[in-house]
């Protein structure tokens, strides 16, 4: 908790060192101090952390000056522990709201999408549309495939693309998300399909990386190049 408290204090280091508001940064030390303040301030603002900057500055000044502190060690520990619990509860609530919204929007998207011409819905909930049909036998679960693909959210936001990297991807059929594993075993070499994958067949409640939120429905353009 002291680490968190110190991080909060860094934001006001520049403020502490000046008698008034500064509009010109003259030294490298001032620039570094201001830059750190910007970075942490933006992070705190993004998290909607409610603090009193003046009281925070006083706490920093008292520590550096060796003044008598207004909180005992026990009061400090209890206060920061409660703060940590409140922040975790707030973040959990926010993530649950995002998760619920993603799930609701995904279900609505799939319900409309299955009505579109050429879209096939499987019992699992996976949907696909054949863009180009290939030839030969589909891969088995134990096979390894090479594919080109592009992945987007239902709003069209791209989160991954082998096309952008300029190199296809190779992986085991059973080594990807369930929606992919199921679809690949139906595709013939040379096929290009568009997959519409419900969240439970994608990354579920955990999401993936910074772009795929919890319970996100995903859309993939997949070109099956070869089977090993």
pLDDT in tens, 200-221: 999 999 999 889 999 999 999 9
* Long-range contacts of the stretch 100-108 (C-beta < 8 A, 24+): 100/215, 102/199, 102/213, 102/214, 102/215, 102/216, 102/217, 103/199, 103/215, 105/154, 105/217, 106/154, 106/198, 106/199, 106/215, 106/216, 106/217, 107/198, 107/217
pLDDT for the residue 1: 45
The larger pLDDT score, comparing residue 1 to residue 178, is at 178
pLDDT band at 124 (very low <50, low <70, confident <90, very high): very high
pLDDT band at 168 (very low <50, low <70, confident <90, very high): very high
Confidence of residue 158 (pLDDT cuts 50, 70, 90): very high
Q: What integer pLDDT is reported at residue 18 of this predicted model?
A: 44
- CA separation for the pair 128, 221 (Å, rounded): 10
Query: What does the angle CA 156 – CA 159 – CA 164 come to, to the nearest 5 degrees?
Result: 100
pLDDT over 80 (residue 57): no
Parse the chain into domains and list their residue ranges.
Answer: 2-70, 108-227
- Mean of the pLDDT values across residues 146-156? 98
Q: What is the pLDDT of residues 64-94, one digit of tens each?
A: 899 999 999 999 999 999 999 998 998 899 8
d(CA 153, CA 98): 14
Report CA-CA distances (Å) from 47 to 42, 76, 87, 137: 9, 22, 9, 51
What values do phi and psi take at 185, rounded to 5?
-75, 0
Alpha-helix runs per DSSP H in the chain: 2-10, 13-16, 28-46, 53-65, 73-113, 162-165, 178-184
Per-residue confidence (pLDDT) for residue 135, from 0 to 100: 96
Nearest to 171 by CA among 147, 190, 138: 147
Percentage of residues in the chain with pLDDT exceeding 70? 90
Task: For residue 20, name the pLDDT band (cuts at 50, 70, 90).
Answer: low
Active site residues: 149, 159-160, 177, 203, 220
Residues 175 and 92: beta-carbon distance below 8 Å: no
178 pairs with which residues across the strands? none
**pLDDT averaged over every residue in the chain:** 89
- The Cα 125–Cα 194 span in angstroms is 14
6: confidence class by pLDDT, cuts 50, 70, 90:
very low
Q: Residues of the chain with pLDDT > 90: what percent? A: 71
Structure confidence at residue 52 as a pLDDT band (50, 70, 90):
confident
* CA atoms of 223 and 220, how far apart (whole Å): 10
Token pair 């409660």 in the structure block, residue: 82
Q: Which CATH architecture has domain 108-227?
A: Roll (3.10)
Across 175-184, average pLDDT: 98
Q: Reduced to 3 states, what is the DSSP secondary structure of residue 67?
A: coil
Reply yes or no on whether the pLDDT at 23 is more than 80: no
Residue 226 pLDDT greater than 80, yes or no: yes
Q: What is the pLDDT at residue 19?
A: 44
Predicted local distance difference test score (pLDDT) of residue 21: 61
């Amino acid at each position: 908790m002291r680490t968190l408290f110190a991080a909060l204090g860094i934001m006001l280091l520049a403020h502490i060192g000046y008698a008034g508001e500064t509009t010109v940064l003259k030294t490298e030390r001032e620039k570094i101090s201001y830059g750190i303040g910007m970075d942490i301030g933006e992070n705190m603002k993004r998290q909607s952390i409610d603090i009193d900057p003046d009281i925070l500055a006083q706490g920093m000044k008292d520590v550096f000056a060796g003044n008598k502190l207004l909180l005992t060690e026990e009061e400090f520990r209890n206060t920061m522990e409660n703060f940590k619990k409140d922040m975790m509860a707030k973040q959990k609530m926010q993530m649950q709201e995002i998760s619920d919204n993603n799930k609701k929007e995904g279900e609505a998207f799939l319900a409309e999408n299955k009505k579109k011409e050429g879209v096939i819905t499987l019992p699992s909930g996976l949907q696909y549309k054949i863009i180009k049909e290939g030839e030969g036998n589909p891969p088995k679960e134990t096979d390894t495939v090479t594919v080109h693909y592009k992945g987007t959210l239902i709003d069209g936001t791209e989160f991954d693309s082998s096309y952008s990297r300029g190199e296809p991807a190779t992986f085991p059929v059973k080594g990807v998300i369930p929606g992919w594993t199921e679809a690949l075993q139906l595709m013939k070499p040379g096929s290009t399909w568009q997959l519409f994958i419900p969240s439970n067949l994608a990354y579920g409640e955990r999401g993936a990386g910074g772009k795929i939120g919890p319970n996100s429905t995903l859309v993939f353009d997949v070109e099956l190049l070869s089977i090993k």
